[in-house]
Structure 1
């Protein structure tokens, strides 16, 4: 049995507040996760030998530490499944960009093999297997946009309007541990209630329906420039440590695009009311991207993406 072209979507953190730090060193967060249609594609073939083999190699990382392999073996161990799997992955989400590609691959592996091996775990059980793999993995199993608290594992579904995003990848790798241990990182943002964010979304949705969308589409500018909810508390640290990201943000601003960093970076995003707006702005910056030195562009790649209302595999798992 086989499953081909199984999507693992990227995520955006629409905001990211650091509200504290536990005694064990883990940071307490509040954020909203949204999936976008920039996806890795995974392919699974069931085998009878019990072996898990993945063709996606990560330089410097032993095969047994690959999140895809770890997810498959976690499912085997939890269920006693005797099946194995041959797994391949077409990577489209840039690694180390704050888009959750590795976490999404792990979640898609849990969901797909739960079906392929007929192990029958429900969503809650899969989420319990997901958390030890990484703080972002459970939200991909959860399957819908979510308000997250704790270390990112306490999830509550949120309704988000249809939106599109320009996602830009600066030519910079960001070390997440270095960001979270930086002495300049604030850890005292006041916690908010989810209803505060929900009310903000509704208010701005009504503004868009009132004609703002048409006006911004005609001007070709970002419909939500300057009206992001909250902030990303990691962004000031990253901008100070990594000048390329500061240059990428400045370049986008110079072209009328107000962007924010997702996760711990390095990727940046801007929200639009329509996908056509995102495409217009993507086309506007292509060919104008400045260079760091003589050969390295400030922005390596840019995508115009749809915001997803649900994870594409949400209904592969029973609640």
Structure 2
């Protein structure tokens, strides 16, 4: 992974800013609030597969994306919305040119758009010298989407509530084979399905940390597989290689599926066997967001 952030002496640019993907090591739906929001429990795992973004300050207040991103009009891009939100919040007259190098799949359940938005908030907080702390940025990020605060939080987390309650957790150092089955799963469709089970018994963070014998599953998986059988096909293909029963599963609301392996060699061997009609890749588990590790720009 290339996560080196390039800065200029005058701090008018930040280049190659990483926006990593996440995997849900499990995702349990434990209830539903009266306002319709689902209560969930999950462990969010950062991985070293990233989009990257370049930022260059403008002094005319204009916020502009410099490149086309297939399927994402500029006006609806979370990156542009994040930049405008911060600009309004900080009452700034500065603008920015943004270039987004997209590598993560859209509608894949790996948090690509949310991660891009989080990296935008963190980078521009530094470039524009807004001096907001991490909690302020997380509150802003929540206005853009439930997953955005996690990427600003910057480390693997046991997540509860509607996704806003986070507690840092240490996860195994492992590698993942990830398959993109080639379908886009709209999140609202999954959450509104009448077949979705919403009464999984809550677990404690210590259950996960101690690797207790809990069935770590994704409650959204059955609904997604019923709608898109190709997701089920990819999970079933991975199941033949899983070390522990249930390791192969879908992340988020889909459509990407993954399976954990102890090291890069083991993951690479499986990757070489994935049928060619699926896009697939391997990724390493991270313990922290690469921006945290770089200490390049986060006060």
TM-score strictly above 0.5: yes
Q: Quick check: 2:238–2:259 contact (8 Å CA) kept in 1?
A: no
1:52-75 residue CA offsets vs partner (Å, 9 max, x unmatched): 101354566553321001100111
What does residue 247 of structure 1 align with?
233
Specify the SS of the correspondent of 2:17: strand
Q: Quick check: 2:57–2:96 contact (8 Å CA) kept in 1?
A: yes
Specify the SS of the correspondent of 1:313: helix
Q: Which runs of 5+ in 2 are unaligned?
A: 1-11
Of 205, 210, 224, 1:194 maps to 205
In the alignment, the residues of structure 2 paired with residue 60 and residue 309 of structure 1 have an alpha-carbon distance, to the nearest angstrom, of 31
In the alignment, the residues of structure 1 paired with residue 169 and residue 138 of structure 2 have an alpha-carbon distance, to the nearest angstrom, of 18
Q: Which runs of 5+ in 1 are unaligned?
A: 204-226, 290-296
1:104 aligns with 2:82: no
In the alignment, the residues of structure 2 paired with residue 139 and residue 126 of structure 1 have an alpha-carbon distance, to the nearest angstrom, of 11
TM-score (norm 2): 0.90
Specify the SS of the correspondent of 1:4: strand
Q: What is the root-mean-square deviation of aligned Cα atoms in Å?
A: 1.8
What does residue 222 of structure 2 align with?
236
Alignment length (residue pairs) = 282
In the alignment, the residues of structure 2 paired with residue 130 and residue 266 of structure 1 have an alpha-carbon distance, to the nearest angstrom, of 24
* Closer, same or farther: CA 240–153 of 1 in aligned 2, 3 Å: same
What does residue 212 of structure 1 align with?
none
Which runs of structure 2 are paired with 1:20-169 in the superposition (5 Å)? 20-57=31-68, 62-169=73-180
What does residue 214 of structure 1 align with?
none
In the alignment, the residues of structure 1 paired with residue 209 and residue 85 of structure 2 have an alpha-carbon distance, to the nearest angstrom, of 35
In the alignment, the residues of structure 2 paired with residue 180 and residue 129 of structure 1 have an alpha-carbon distance, to the nearest angstrom, of 24
Specify the SS of the correspondent of 1:81: coil
Structure with the higher helix share, 1 or 2: 1
In the alignment, the residues of structure 2 paired with residue 174 and residue 117 of structure 1 have an alpha-carbon distance, to the nearest angstrom, of 36
1:30-84 residue CA offsets vs partner (Å, 9 max, x unmatched): 0010111110010000010111101354566553321001100111111112210
Of 235, 247, 266, 2:255 maps to 266
TM-score (norm 1): 0.84
